[in-house]
């Protein structure tokens, strides 16, 4: 569990990883503080980030848990611990 006074940004996006068609999302779970790195397609990511697509439209190939990590920065296990199933 993270301390109350520890600030860790929820999302860090590397859009310049050398590949034109991919980018990395680096999320930090709000509940446990674990970092998670996902490689995703760049254009769908930008369209989701600019609110042009729903996350399930941008990333249908990702699991619901992976999409939740990108969107809210929370693991499904941690979400269930915080709010119940």
Asked if residue 69 lies in contact with residue 36, where contact means CB atoms within 8 angstroms, the answer is yes
- Across the range 4-18, mean pLDDT stands at 50
Domain boundaries, the chain: 11-77
pLDDT at residue 12, rounded to an integer: 55
Provide the 3-class DSSP secondary structure of residue 59.
coil
Please report the DSSP string for 1-28 in residue order: ---TT----SEEEE--SS-TTEEEEEEE
Quote the percentage of the chain above a pLDDT of 70: 75
Average pLDDT score over residue span 46-68: 92
Please state, in angstroms and rounded to a whole number, the distance separating the CA atoms of residues 24 and 1. 24
pTM of the predicted structure, to 2 decimals: 0.71
């Amino acid at each position: 569990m993270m301390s109350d006074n520890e600030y860790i940004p929820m999302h860090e996006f590397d859009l310049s990883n050398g590949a034109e068609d991919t980018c990395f999302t680096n999320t930090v779970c709000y509940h446990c503080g674990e970092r998670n790195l996902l490689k995703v397609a760049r254009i769908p990511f930008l369209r989701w980030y600019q609110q042009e697509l729903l996350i399930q439209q941008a990333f249908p190939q990702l699991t619901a848990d992976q999409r939740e990590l990108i969107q809210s920065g929370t693991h499904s296990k941690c979400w269930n611990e915080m709010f119940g199933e």
